[in-house]
A = this chain, B = another copy of it.
Amino acid sequence: MNRITELLGIKYPIIQGGMVWCSGWKLASAVSNAGGLGVIGSGSMYPDVLREHIRKCKLATDKPFAVNLPLLYPQISDHIDIIIEEKVPIVITSAGSPAKYTHLFKSQGIKVVHVVAGVKFARKCEEAGVDAIVAEGFEAGGHNGADETTTMVLIPLVRKHTHLPLIAAGGIATGRAMLAAMILGAEGVQMGTRFAATVESSAHQAFKNEILKTGEGGTMLALKKIGAVRLIKNAFYQRVAEAEAQGATAEELSQLLGRGRAKKGMFEGDTEEGELEIGQVAALVDEIKPVNQIFEDILAEYRQAVEEVLNVWKP
- A157/B225 contact (C-beta < 8 A), A118-B216, A176-B184 known: no
Please name all residues of chain B whose beta carbon is closer than 8 Å to the beta carbon of A302 when the two chains form the complex: 315
A153 touches B139 (CB 8 A): yes
Contact of A118 among B176, B217, B246, B314 (CB under 8 A): B217
Q: Is the CB of A284 within 8 A of B147?
A: no
Which B residues lie within 8 Å of A137 (CB)? 150, 152
Segment among A17-25, A89-97, A167-175 that sits at the interface with chain B: A167-175
A248 to B1, CA, bound (A): 53
Q: Is the CB of A306 within 8 A of B299?
A: no
Task: Indicate the member of A4, A138, A313 with the most B CB atoms within 10 Å.
Answer: A313
Partner pick for A180 among B148, B149, B184, CB 8 A cutoff: B184
Contact with B along A161-197 (1 / 0, CB 8 A): 0000000001110101101111111011000000000
A221 close to chain B: CB less than 8 A: yes
| Interface range for A | 35 or more
Q: Which residue on B lies nearest to A311, using beta carbons?
A: B2
- The answer to whether the Cβ of A199 comes within 8 Å of any Cβ in the partner chain is no
B residues within 8 A CB of A74? none
Q: Contact check: which of B2, B139, B156 meets A284 at CB < 8 Å?
A: B156
Known contacts A150-B150, A184-B177; is A2 also within 8 Å of B308 by CB?
no
Is B280's CB under 8 angstroms from A150's CB?
yes
